[in-house]
Homo-oligomer: A and B are copies of this chain.
Amino acid sequence: MDLKHYLQTNRSQIETALESLLPRPDAPPVRLNQAIRHSLMGGGKRLRPILVLASADAVGGDRSRLLPFACGMECLHTYSLIHDDLPAMDNDDYRRGRPTCHKQFDEATAILAGDALLTLAFELASRPIDGIDPEVVLTAVRQLAVDAGFAGMVGGQMLDLLAENRKVQLDELRIIHRMKTGALIRCACEAGARLGGGNPSQIEALKHYGAAIGLAFQITDDLLDVIGDSHLMGKATGKDQANAKATYPAIMGVPAAQSLASEQVQSALRCLEPFSSVADPLRNLARYIIERTN
């Protein structure tokens, strides 16, 4: 399979769905609407919704029925970027090569755009899915809330802020990233398997797959900050080092971090062994995650 073409087709399917699920462009408050669209429709890999759809495919589910849930995960991811970029947090001016939400609009609008996207995520995630027991949908919504909240993404961002400017060991860094970026990536795979109608062992396998690629993804992000091209990345590189931020390459060195990322990809591939070629997109995605350049 041609992964590049697969990703393009998926992105375009997700962006069409997002457009149809968002409030109409002229719906008031227009400023809030524009801020949401600025951040949500300004590019991005759409990794989390693609993982939802690819995981549903892997268990023989009907991906078209999962588009609202998948788009909800992208809304949730985008909210986290908007809030993380705020002056009180990481204070970033650019994201994906464009001004961050609070630079393009203002802080109050950016805070509210994030809040609106987080809330919209749950509106989309809690839509009924034809052929799927509502109890299963409810479980997926609850899991999404756990992985996005105190014990997941939000808690991880807090731990990350608390770790600034002090020495962090590898164990602590892994906890931070398991929560901050890992939880939502794992959740995307688990939810896709569950809402695609997978059986418990399939759901478990794709959850572990997601955990492994989530870690590989974060290590690669850190590596790209050290060795990446700021032009391709659409954001400043070398920032982690300038901020004395704990990263995998900073703690382990670049070669050991690269090895750890590769090991995680191997581990992710082993989780897919029980699956036929329907899981090939997930296999290719796992390899792509550490080979990407942005």
Contact = CB atoms under 8 A, between A and B. Distances in A.
Contact of A123 (B86, B89, B137, B142): B142
A120 to B, nearest CB: 6
Interface in A172-217: none
A33 interface: yes
Interface in A144-176: 144-146, 148-151, 154-155, 157-159, 161-162
Contacts of A83: 111-112, 115
B157 A145 contact: no
A66 interface: no
Interface residues of A, number: 51
A88 B105 CA distance: 12
A236 interface: no
A145 B120 contact: yes
A107 B88 contact: yes
A162 B109 CA distance: 10
Contact of A149 (B116, B155, B161): B116
A45 interface: no
Interface stretch (A46-54, A128-136, A265-273): A128-136
Contacts of A36: 150
Interface stretch (A9-17, A24-32, A227-235): A24-32
Nearest to A114: B115
A294 interface: no
A278 interface: no
25 contacts: A23-B150, A27-B150, A27-B151, A29-B159, A32-B150, A79-B115, A83-B112, A89-B108, A109-B158, A112-B154, A112-B158, A112-B161, A114-B115, A115-B149, A115-B154, A118-B119, A119-B149, A122-B141, A122-B144, A122-B145, A123-B145, A126-B142, A128-B135, A134-B134, A134-B137
Interface of A: 23, 27-29, 31-33, 36, 79, 83, 86, 88-89, 106-109, 111-112, 114-116, 118-120, 122-123, 126-128, 133-135, 137-138, 141-142, 144-146, 148-151, 154-155, 157-159, 161-162
